[in-house]
Structure 1
Amino acid sequence: ASFIGYNEAKRFSKEPEKFGTGVLEGVAAPECANNSATGGAMIPTMALGIPGSGTTAVILGALLVHGMRPGPLLFIQNTDVVYAVFIGMFFANLMFLGLGLGGAKVFSQILRVPNYVLSPIILVLCVVGTYALHNNMADVWIMLICGLVGYKMKEYGFAAAPIVLGLVLGELIEISLRRSLIVFDNNAFIFFTRPWALTFIILTVLGLCSPAIRTWVENRGQKNNKQSAAE
C-alpha cells in the first residue's frame, strides 16, 4: 500500500521531480495508504474469512483458536466480538492521531541519525531476521544478493518497488487464481463474466495504460500549443 500510494502521488503530482527530497506529499501519501490499508484488510478477513494481509492472518488464526469462524455467520453468532474490533480500531486511529500530532517533532529526530550509524543496524536486523525465519544461511546469502541487485537498480534509475510488490503479492495472487480456477472447472473466461472481476480487470488495464495515455495527452497538448503559437 505504501509503495502504490507513493507512486500514485508522484504520478499525479505537478512537480514529480521533487519526490525523494522530503516533499510533504511524498511523506503523507504512503503513510495515508498504509493506515487505510489496515482497516481495508479487515473487511475480507471478518466478512469472508480471507486474510487481507499478514497481520489479519494472525487475527484470523486467533479467532479460529477461540472457536469463532470468520465469515457472514460471525456477524450473527459473535456480534459482540465484531463490534469490539470496530470500536477498538476507531479508538486506535484516534490514539495514532494524538501520537502523530504530539510526537511529530520527536519522531522526526530519527532522520538526524547519520547513515553510517543507521546502515549497520539495519543490516544486522536484516541478517538476523532472515536467518531466524528458517535457520538457514542460504536465505541470508539470497537476501544479500537481492540487496545488491536493489542497490544497483537504484544506481541505474530502475524502480525496485514493482519487484518487491511482485515478490510479496505474487504468491497470494497465484493461490487465489488457482483456487478460483478449481471452483469454476479451470474456466478462465469466468473472470470476464462476473461484474466485480471484470471491473477490477478494467481498472487494472487502465492503471497500466494511464502513464502512456497521460504522456500522449500532454504531448498532444504541447503540440497544439506550439501550432497555436506559430499561427
Structure 2
Amino acid sequence: MYLGVDGCPDGWIAVAYSEDEFEGAEFHRTLRALWGANRDAERILVDVPIGLRTESSEPRACDTAARERLSPHRHNSVFPTPIRAAAHEKSYEAAKATQEARTDGSLNRQSWGIAPKIAEADDLLRDSSAARDRLRECHPEVCFWAFAGRPMRYSKTADPRRAYWERVNVLRSREPAVYDHIWAATEQSYDGEFSTDDLIDAFAVALTARGDESGLRTLPEAPERDETGLPMEIVYRPAE
C-alpha cells in the first residue's frame, strides 16, 4: 500500500493506492493514529517538513531547491521551516520568541500555522524507528511540477476553479482514472472536515508514493540530516 497524506485543520487526509488500484481515502485526527492504522504500508509520503534545524535560521536546502523549481509564481507555497524548539511551542508569541532567541531570524504567521503539524510529525518520527523507515516528506506543488515538467500556472486562492482543473488534468497524466477516484473519495464518510484542495493535494502525494523506489528523486539530490538523523528532503517522482 502507498499513502499520500495532507494536513488539514481537523487532522490528516490520506489517499491510498496499491500498485494497480485506488484503495480509498481515510481521515485521522492525528498522524500517530494514521501511522497506527497503516504500519504495513510500503511507503507513506506526508506534506509536512521533516528534519529540523536547532539553532539556525538558514533555510533547509530542500526548501530552497523547491522554491527555485516553483518560481516565479508557486514558490510562496513553500513556507520557511521553524527550528525544532519553536515548532514545539504552544503559542505564536512563544514560538517567535524562541526562534529569535536561538537564531538570527524570526517566525512569520504562515510558518506558525503549520508548526503544530511539524511538531506532531517530529514527535512520531523521533519515537518510532519503524515510522522513520516508512514516512518521508513530500510537497504537493513539487509533485505537480514533477508530473507536468513545470510549475502550476493557476493559484488555488486567486483562481480556484482553473487551479482545480489544471491540477486534476496533471494527475490524469499519471493516473487516467483519477477523476473517478476523486469522485469516489468525495462520496466516502469521514470523521472530520477537509477541503477539496486538501484532497487533491493528497492524491498528488499518493501518486508520487505509488511505484518503485528507483523512480523517486529528492530535493536536494544528496539531502543533509538534522541532529536526530532525520533527512531534510522533499521527495518527488519525475514524469515517465
Using the size of structure 2 for normalisation, the TM-score is: 0.22
Which is richer in strand? 2
Which structure's CA Rg is the greater one?
Answer: 1
Which is richer in helix? 1
Work out which structure has the larger RCO, using CA pairs closer than 8 Å and 6 or more positions apart in sequence: 2
